[in-house]
Copies of this chain bind each other. A is one copy, B any other.
Amino acid sequence: MAQQLTAQRVTLISLGVDDLERSATFYEALGWQATEELLAVRFYRLKGLMLGLIGVDALATDQGRPGAGLGTGAMTLARNYRSPAEVDTAFAAAVAAGATVLKRPEQVHWGGYSGYFADPDSHVWEIAHNPFWPLDADGYLAGEHG
């Protein structure tokens, strides 16, 4: 069971991008700081996991399907914030960094406050306040993990 339970985790999120410098400029304009760049992958350390930017062709090759066209949009990343006001601030920062607005932050049906934008490669981010999900001091979800 321990082996099964430890499988309930994510340690790396890789985003396939058309132009690594363009994408890095976008994320770094948000205040992100790169941890390392290795073999043309630029890594950003999160809490317990990494986010990597990698050329989309290299990603398709790594996936074992060189030349494949990879689509975006049906996997969404979110950052949660402590209040609607923080959501507005973070969303405005993303727009200032060049994000494409999909939906400006608003009160949403599940009881929170949320907006969506797309990064330069159409990777979709949600910026949200969820009053039902308390955050720890680092801004990650509080509580025991699965």
Interface residues, chain A, CB within 8 Å of chain B?
A: 1, 3-16, 30-33, 35, 38-39, 44-51, 56, 59-60, 62-65, 68, 70-80, 89-90, 93, 102-103, 108-110, 114, 116, 121, 123-124, 126, 128, 133, 135-136, 138-141, 143-146
Contact = CB atoms under 8 A, between A and B. Distances in A.
Contact of A65 (B1, B3, B79, B102): B102
Contact of A143 (B45, B110, B121): B45
A30 B7 contact: yes
Most buried by B among A48, A65, A123, A143: A48
Given A73-B70, A74-B56, A126-B14, A46 B102 contact: no
